[in-house]
Amino acid sequence: MLFEKLINRNESLSVIGLGYVGLPIAVAFADEVDVIGVDINQTKIDQYRSGIDPTKEVGDEKIQETSMEFTDDESKIKDAKFHIVSVPTPIKHDKTPELSPIEGASKTIGRNLTHGSIVVYESTVYPGVTEDVCIPILEKESGLKCGVDFKVGYSPERINPGDNVNTLEKIVKIVSAIDNDTLDEIAKIYELVIDAGVHKATSIKVAEAAKVVENSQRDINIAFMNELAMVFDRMGIDSTDVVDAMNTKWNALGFTPGLVGGHCIGVDPYYFIYEAEKLGYHSQIVLSGRKINDSMGEFVADAIIKKLIKTNKVVKQAKVAILGLTFKENTPDTRNSKVIDIVNGLNDYGIKPVVVDPVANPDEVYNEYGIELTSMEQLTNLDCIVLAVAHDQFKAMGLTEFDRFFANVSNENKVLIDVKSVMEREPIEAEGYEYWRL
């Protein structure tokens, strides 16, 4: 069995794609078996080799201690028999699936696939991609036959970036495969690093669907809260106060309004919608939820404008600073960040906000969004501060620290926007600030 060969270090395991998802699973496996980490980004590989973790998911110390071999040489894949594919699966501008990364990875693996290998895909896809898209590519590139010369499985990633509590080993791993023998083999291998155990899905399509659905479920629930927040804003009711009251009941779900971006919740529902529409079904609930959540950046931008007008600011001349650009707190991941929608919404009114994010990578931000990040020390004479991402560094700041960034005017003319609702409303309003939270 391949499992025995791996734990005896007679065979190696490879992870293709060493980002926010691939790196943690690769490092975890490297404690148990020989691991080859492969990524086409040479800069990233150089950082790993230097002991630096740009993702902040495992930390520099673990990178320095790991026995994993980091490489951008695809031929090294030939030295492994168990392959985990963990490349991004984003969406295109028209909201349809962008499968080129997973197709490219399949071609790379196929060119270097050897007899007796197992390939497991972790990238989020709609049901059918593994068997209908990936396997044919593997067969074409390798000249081998799936089910005979090599086997394939699917195990959706469930890592929550930036979460130090619900870590990789504590999350049940869904596994699936083209046959039962391969399923058992894959399950045993993942159990080496997943303390919470594995769940054997009845088919690859079931496993693919489970990942898309679990994120669509969260998306819909957040969309409900966002819709309520927009209505409560018109009613003059604080949505956070409503949520606090509601959550006193035992069966409250605990969702809150917010910006929904990132590489999972803000993307996966579109994979479901795409496949459903191919089959002739026009999604109603999932698509409606996506539309609501995609509109929240614009809603926040409009709220900022209203507050600026209320404080008698000349909108085009207003100095606005946005604190945070990553898609969630305490992670450098800026993929599909909805904070950019706030930026673009303000741009529509002629405002060019400055953006501060001590966690994000400045080069990645500039390459992705064309924004040059500003440091906190450079903030001065502001009319409005937008707390967009609840980084620990921002949450630790008090009102006095925020106040030093404003222009020297009365508090009634200072606008403080709290997108994540992390500040106490009463003391801020008691000081006279014009305060708004989602």
* Alpha-carbon gap, residue 44 to 72, rounded angstroms: 9
Token pair for 115:
């007899």
* Alpha-carbon gap, residue 153 to 121, rounded angstroms: 6
Q: Does residue 196 contact residue 171 with C-beta atoms inside 8 Å?
A: yes
* Alpha-carbon gap, residue 308 to 407, rounded angstroms: 14
User: How many angstroms separate the Cα of 142 from the Cα of each of 154, 203, 294?
Assistant: 19, 24, 41
* Alpha-carbon gap, residue 295 to 216, rounded angstroms: 17
HSE of 272 in the Cβ direction (CA atoms, 13 Å)?
27
Closest of 119, 109, 118 to residue 1, by C-alpha: 118
Residues 154-168 as b or e (16 or more Cβ within 10 Å = b): bbbbbbebbeeeebb
Choose the catalytic residue: 134, 146, 264, 384: 264
Instruction: For residue 153, give the 3-state DSSP assignment.
Output: strand
Kindly calculate the radius of gyration of the chain based on its CA atoms and give it in whole angstroms: 24
Strands 415-418 and 434-437: what pairing? parallel
Closest of 39, 40, 15, 213 to residue 124, by C-alpha: 213
* Alpha-carbon gap, residue 10 to 130, rounded angstroms: 28
For the chain, the distance separating the N- and C-terminal CA atoms, rounded to the nearest angstrom, is 54
Other Cβ atoms less than 10 A from the Cβ of 169: the count is: 11
In the numeric block, the tokens 């909201």 are attached to 95
Q: Does residue 199 contact residue 173 with C-beta atoms inside 8 Å?
A: yes
User: How many angstroms separate the Cα of 75 from the Cα of each of 9, 39, 52, 335, 404?
Assistant: 19, 12, 24, 29, 55
* Alpha-carbon gap, residue 290 to 273, rounded angstroms: 10
Closest of 208, 82, 215, 214 to residue 155, by C-alpha: 208
Token pair for 390:
């609840």
* 146 catalytic per annotation: no
Other Cβ atoms less than 10 A from the Cβ of 132: the count is: 11
Residue numbers annotated as active site: 264
